[in-house]
Structure 1
Amino acid sequence: MVLTKKHTAGSSLDKATYLKIKAERQQAFLESKNAKEDFCFKCHRLQKYCLCPLIKPFETKMKFVILMHPMEAKKEKQGTGRICLATLKNSHMIMGVDFTENEEVNALINDPNNSCFTMYPGERSLNVSEHDVAPLNKLLDENKTIILFLIDGTWPCAKKMMRESKNIQSLPRISFTATHTSIFEIKEQPADYCLSTLESIHFFIQECNRRGVENTAKAEDNLIDVFKAMIKFQMDCALDPNRSSYKRGSKLGYSKKEDRVKAKKWLTKSRSVILPDRK
């Protein structure tokens, strides 16, 4: 920083004092410019905003393969999909939109040691909350690796990904019956049955535990603990006037669910957020 005539006009400082103050200010400027805050390379956040210390990874019998939309992968530094990847030891992420010709996806599908499903609602899906889960236990007893593909993106993007990915669309579907609505209050869901990727995985594992397919001893609850911390962080950002995400005039940092107006496209009965089963 350089002192100008404006700063020294009318000043009674002698030359030595002036030069000392100038040097101190220049040094302070250089220190602030070169200061680097600790950075977490796992979640791509500053350490002071990092949620990684809260994550407690655990094993599952089934393998979760998260098909992440590029927009979700690049813009969400620590979205629900990434939290799941960090928490589930037996998980993997593949980025893309149309996976029909994706070599990695097709290798998993074509491997005779695997039995692949798409976690997606459908009239003919195997519902782990209500249907007979004996086929899943039989596959595990036969040492088959159950691969569960999940689509991670906004609901419109997820529907497009499902429609374009013929290989994923043709797999048998697996689902559950949710008994609660999403706790992701700062984000609007197109329907009450719509859950985030993290909430879907959490509830699915809970149901698999209840039906005897998995045995994680409630380790999956850590997903929700980290999720709540993420929501709190986002709310704090929305209430901080020094951040670009500041929501002026909002006492909560987000609008109340009852005050929101759903997009007209999801209110049309002829349009569903879910892609129907292939006939």
Structure 2
Amino acid sequence: MNRFLSLYAERKAAATTTFKGRGARRVRCETCQMPQQHCFCDQAILQTSHCGFALLMHNMEVLRPSNTGRFIADIIPDTHAFIWQRTEPCQALLNLCHQQQWQPYVVFPAHFSEPQRVHHDIAPPQGQKPLFIMLDGSWREARKMFHQSPWLDQFPVISINPEQASRYGLRSSPVKGQWATAEVAAQLLAMNGEHNNAKLLEQRFKSFTQQTLAGRNHQ
């Protein structure tokens, strides 16, 4: 079961207004959210993985066609999705994190956290698998989520050190260190030794960018 799609359906059903962001008027595939003529659902093939992802999503991010976190769920079977709440912890996510099989890591740049909390290598205890908690939203939203979620402070922070700007071609001015969620996830997969899964996710992200730009040019 694709948990992102389940969350998307719940969020869409609960919405009291129609999403009016860029591209909102286009007729889209209900699954991949691409314009129908650029649907690439046939490329979504689940792989074997020894890690999990938990998308902690800003309320509006779930509905954005530009969201890239959803592509993780197309590749990695243990991908979960939750809505972030400013006023209370996400108990469902905490329940997942406290399952014995997982070692949770909050994925965020190191300089926003206490040094003793930061890990640069993935080394879960024996018998456990890494669970990467991704704060999925705009950069401003992700920072807000990180600083206003003290209930996540119990978990270590895993940080990557990208040496180049994001290849997210849909942004007008990519900033070094501010990567799309799918790009960060691909880096984490590579760090965990899952290089084939990393390449597959990178390719899905690349196809998404190319297809979106092609759609804009056609429009």
Question: Is the TM-score greater than 0.5?
Answer: yes
Indicate yes or no: 2:72 matched with 1:94: no
**C-alpha contact (below 8 Å) 2:103/2:129 kept by paired residues:** yes
TM score, norm. by length of structure 2: 0.75
Q: By how many angstroms is 1:63 displaced? A: 1.1
Which one has the largest radius of gyration? 1
String of CA shifts for 1:89-122, please: whole Å, max 9, x gaps.
1211112243842220121233344322201122
Larger relative contact order (Cα-Cα within 8 Å, sequence gap ≥ 6): 2
Q: What amino acid is the match of 2:213? A: M
Alignment of 1:123-202 (within 5 A): 123=111, 124=115, 125-128=118-121, 133=122, 135-136=123-124, 139=125, 141=126, 143-188=127-172, 191-202=175-186
Is the partner of 1:53 in helix, strand or coil?
Answer: helix
Q: What amino acid is the match of 2:203? A: D
Q: Give the structure 1 partner of residue 91 of structure 2.
A: 103
Change (3 A) 1:99 1:207: farther
Indicate yes or no: 2:208 matched with 1:230: yes
**C-alpha contact (below 8 Å) 1:56/1:222 kept by paired residues:** no
**CA distance in 2: counterparts of 1:199 and 1:114, whole angstroms:** 22
Is the partner of 2:55 in helix, strand or coil?
Answer: strand
TM-align CA RMSD: 2.4
Tell me the number of residue pairs that the alignment of Structure 1 and Structure 2 aligns: 188
Is the partner of 2:197 in helix, strand or coil?
Answer: coil
TM score, norm. by length of structure 1: 0.60
String of CA shifts for 1:179-235, please: whole Å, max 9, x gaps.
3321112214663111110000111211221xxxxxx35232111212121111221
**CA distance in 2: counterparts of 1:67 and 1:233, whole angstroms:** 26
Aligned partner (choices 65, 73, 92) of residue 54 of structure 2: 65
The percent of aligned pairs where both chains have the same amino acid is: 18
Q: Which runs of 5+ in 2 are unaligned?
A: 1-26
